[in-house]
Structure 1
Amino acid sequence: MRLEAVTRAYGDVTALREVTWSFPRGGLTAVMGPSGSGKSTFLHCASGLDRPTSGSVRIGEVDLGTLKEARLTRLRRERIGFVFQAFNLIPSMSVEQNVTLPLRLAGRDPDPARVAAILRRVGLAERAGHRPSELSGGQQQRAAIARALITEPEVVFADEPTGALDPRTARDVLRLLREAVDVSGQTVVLVTHDPLAAAWADSAVFLSEGRVVDELTAPTVEQLLRRWETL
């Protein structure tokens, strides 16, 4: 995935300023920055949820800016997975129904063996028939990760996925995202303000005032904290 000179302006406010960046296939990249640095706008433009004012975003050989809305929606459904802080599970559906929703929206019949395997992978095999209200926060986030992975997407965007979780549960969620990279070869982009979460990444990219200002490779918590203090 590559962003080339991406700028996003909302009226008089410019949230991203000519950002050029590539994300390696099969890597976990943390995107960090203070409030107002452009992290959410970066994620929205990179994932096709929003369109840049100028510049281009490519996933593989596809320029997202050339796609009409219906084709862009289909690409997001088939090639991109999303994990959000608020889980975004449908309350009236069971865990299994939530997890298989992207497949059914795409007109694909879920493979029972595949569904069972991914529920086991996230530790929810015994909770498949439960609704979100019957789950803990960590279980809901694991269900959201299973939903993001069920279509075997090329890229998974995780927006503050541990922000509402206690440290132990957050570690379990981050381990699942790490496994998506190490075991399945997927690309994960983790937007976070938490150095403990970013330390799971292969690299950390820092945004400030809508620009990429630094990158740390194989970052440690101490390195991340020191760099954060200078933003």
Structure 2
Amino acid sequence: MMTMTAEATVRATGPEAVGLDSVTRTYGAVRALDGITWTFPRGGFTAVMGPSGSGKSTFLHCASGLDRPSAGTVRIGGVDIGRLNEAKRTRLRRERIGFVFQAFNLIPSMDVERNITLPLHLGGAEADPAWLEEVVRRVGLADRLRHRPSELSGGQQQRAALARALITRPEVVFADEPTGALDPRTARDVLRMLREAADLTGQTIVLVTHDPMAAAWADSVVFLSRGRIVDELAAPTVSAVMSRWETL
């Protein structure tokens, strides 16, 4: 088995981490996304907000390659993922994208270390010990590596899920309501770790959230309504996000 190191990870160059051109997604007669064109800059932290039914989850699924748009183009690191077959799309997601969801999605029978390194093992790689130690230190789980998920608090499980998202050194981390099931203090810890991933190691963070306090950690907030991007707020504050949110 190979070892996943910084040298073994292929990086695309250029300012764009994720690009969407005229992306539409329909489900029968329902148009969940309506011709979205947007670019997420490399190393940026963007929050995506919108009311229920605005298309937030569909937006994340299409932007990350979990779903195929009905029309339009999605690029990850300059690669048009619509041109890839399913096996290549799966490999791209595993190697270049990290995911964090509200549901922690940890494997109950595996300890924390095995859960964190699972994406590497699925790709036939082993963790770089120094990077594994760094990721575990960041999320504060050094003394929990031999515990199973059932032995962790909800906050610790989300920390493990975040470590799993970071272990492959992904170019982009998509986080879908990652603080929705957490208490305020633990939520702040998770958001701080996402902020550090952008600031310290240059990951691009795309955070889907309904929480103005969570959105305020981002560099900018993109607002969705009825499947369209209707506004962007740079350098957001909680009060500014709440004011814009009330008009959607």
Q: Same fold (TM over 0.5)?
A: yes
Of 61, 86, 93, the match for 2:78:
61
Alignment of 1:171-186 (within 5 A): 171-186=188-203
In structure 1, distance between residues paired with 2:223 and 2:89: 28
| Structure 2 length-normalised TM | 0.92
Once the two structures are TM-superposed, the CA of residue 61 in structure 1 deviates from its matched residue by: 1.8
In 2: Cα distance, 1:118 partner to 1:156 partner: 14
Q: 121, 137, 142: which is aligned to 1:125?
A: 142
Q: How far apart, in 2, do the equivalents of 1:138 and 1:66 lie?
A: 38
Shift of 1:60: 1.7
Name the structure 2 match of 1:105: 122
Give % identity.
76
Q: Is the 8 A contact 2:109 2:148 kept in 1?
A: yes
CA RMSD of aligned residues (A): 0.6
Shift >6 Å, 4+ stretches:
none
Q: How does 1:32-47 map to 2 (within 5 A)?
A: 32-47=49-64
Give the match for residue 24 of structure 1.
Answer: 41
Structure 1 residue 70, shift from structure 2 partner: 0.2
Shift of 1:140: 0.5
TM normalised by structure 1 equals 0.99
Unaligned runs of 5+ in 2: 1-17
The reply on whether 1:150 has 2:167 as its aligned counterpart is: yes
**How far does the alpha carbon of each residue in 1:186-214 deviate from its partner, in whole angstroms, 9 at most, with x for none?**
10000000000000000000000000000
How far does the alpha carbon of each residue in 1:48-97 deviate from its partner, in whole angstroms, 9 at most, with x for none? 00000000000122001000000000000000000000011111100000
Cα distance in 2 for residues equivalent to 1:65 and 1:91 = 34
Give 2:155's aligned amino acid: G
Equivalent residues of 2:95, 2:170 under 8 A apart: yes
| Structure 1 CA distance for aligned equivalents of residues 244 and 178 of structure 2 | 22
